[in-house]
């Protein structure tokens, strides 16, 4: 089993391009007023933990749906 640090490094490598073209969540309001609908997002704040790194797709979808009240 890989360590948490390895999982985070792998996630960062896989999403490097998306971070270059998608604004961080903290700045998203500067570009759109549309609510988040479950697509890719990232945070520039180091204290935010992304569930996508630790959860499988089904768990992430369940959490997202609950947060979005679907």
pLDDT tens digits, one per residue of 8-48: 788 888 889 998 999 998 999 899 898 888 788 888 888 88
- At 52 the pLDDT is 65
CA distance 15 to 23: 13
- At 53 the pLDDT is 67
- At 51 the pLDDT is 67
CA distance 37 to 69: 11
């Amino acid at each position: 089993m890989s360590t948490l640090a390895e999982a985070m490094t792998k996630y960062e490598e896989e999403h490097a391009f998306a971070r270059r073209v998608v604004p961080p969540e903290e700045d998203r309001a500067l570009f759109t007023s549309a609510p988040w609908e479950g697509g890719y997002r990232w945070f520039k704040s180091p204290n935010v933990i992304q569930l996508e790194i630790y959860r499988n797709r089904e768990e992430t979808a369940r959490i997202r749906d609950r947060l979005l009240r679907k």
